[in-house]
Amino acid sequence: NFQGHGVVGGHSDLPVKKAINFSPPLYRQRYSFVNDLVNQHKPKKVADLGCGNASLIQMIKSHSCLELIVGVDINKDKIGSQRCRLSPFSGEYLSPRDLNLSIILYHGSAVERDSRLLGFDLVTCIELIEHLDSEDLARFPEVVFGYLSPAMVVISTPNSDFNPLFPAVTLRDSDHKFEWNRKQFQTWALGVADFYNYSVEFTGVGEPPEGAGNVGYCTQIGVFRKIGAPATESCVAEQCGQHVYKIVYSVSYPSLQQKEVRKLALANEVSRQIQSMRQRYVSSLRILQRGDGDGHQVSDTGLVTFSGPVFTELEKRKIEKSPEPFRFGNKLYVPLERLLAYPKVNRLCDSVDTMRALIADTVRLSRDGSAVKVDLRDTSFDHNMEY
């Protein structure tokens, strides 16, 4: 079978030519191409026109640079079924993003103008244009390049030069209105780029089999970049007000910009570090003689091991220079400055005062509020340990 998205394979009664298998499947190669572009150019706002089942959005949403991802598709049922795949999972609340991220799926056509898609850094049109009839194809550049005018546009479409390699193909999908060869696509793309002040580079995915000759990639891709400065915020604001798309799904991801999310993540990380220190201290008690007495200073090597996450030398020195945890009676005290020295904690708050305010209602603090207090007799930590 031909493992490409929206592509028909060969017929079993025509064994003259071998079926072509792409690894990874062709649709994943297309999405990976876009994913690599996002990784390279770090856009904040991306729109996927003809997003289908939102697989591309699912692939790119983990990029930390993204703040808004929009998907648009004419098939309302298909995009409406993707809620579960795009919803944040519990781990994303415990390890939140640095920046806010919103994902919105719209029901609408790529040849309709909607001002909510103005000012984007990247617009992708993956296997879209071949589904447009001649009237919509004429409107497509006016909307995408003229009206939306993003910094970058990526368009992929079948390369009909490749089609003779398939056992029996006229059009790869029954809904395709046309399939261009490389010359046709490049002629169209260069004309659009010139008219709307873009540059364009051509590439593709889906290498032909060995010995197939110069047929090019199975999927041809044009990468368009806006020449000159992007539209200013005031220009974008002047065009606002055209809302023709209907929202099918919208979700906001947890981020450190949200106070309650940051509070939850910090409390979780602090508790994790405190429990780890307590367990290491409990282990050290096994080799100490009984009756150490109050005021015993816990050795740094007893509570800090640099296993697990990889610390840089600078991070290690920062931890080692911070005030050490200490035991007094049956209590273990971990200074907030010590906790702040750990990179994961430091990422979540920038000062001892901020930490104290965020964790005060989730942990027990010393009287002066400078340290977290842990009861070494707390059986919820280690019910088998005797003191």
All structural domains of the chain with their residue ranges: 26-253, 259-375
Highest average pLDDT, of 80-94, 161-175, 231-245, 266-280, comes from: 266-280
Whether 291 has a pLDDT exceeding 80, the answer reads no
Q: Average the pLDDT over each of 8-22, 194-208, 230-244, 337-351 and give the range with the smallest value.
A: 8-22
Whether 302 has a pLDDT exceeding 50, the answer reads no
The terminus-to-terminus CA distance of the chain in angstroms comes to 67
Bigger pLDDT: 45 vs 349: 45
Whether 121 has a pLDDT exceeding 90, the answer reads yes
How confident is the model at residue 240, as a pLDDT? 62
Q: Average the pLDDT over each of 208-217, 219-228, 232-241, 366-375 and give the range with the smallest value.
A: 232-241
Q: Average the pLDDT over each of 131-145, 233-247, 333-347 and give the range with the smallest value.
A: 233-247
Average pLDDT, the chain: 84
Whether 52 has a pLDDT exceeding 80, the answer reads yes
Measured at the alpha carbon of residue 103, what is the angle toward residues 196 and 96, in degrees to the nearest 5?
A: 125
How confident is the model at residue 83, as a pLDDT? 72
Tell me if the pTM is above 0.75: yes
How confident is the model at residue 238, as a pLDDT? 53
How confident is the model at residue 92, as a pLDDT? 87
The CATH superfamily assigned to 26-253 is Vaccinia Virus protein VP39 (3.40.50.150)
Bigger pLDDT: 276 vs 382: 276
How confident is the model at residue 376, as a pLDDT? 80
Whether 229 has a pLDDT exceeding 90, the answer reads no
Percent of all residues in the chain with a pLDDT value above 70, rounded to a whole number:
82
How confident is the model at residue 202, as a pLDDT? 98
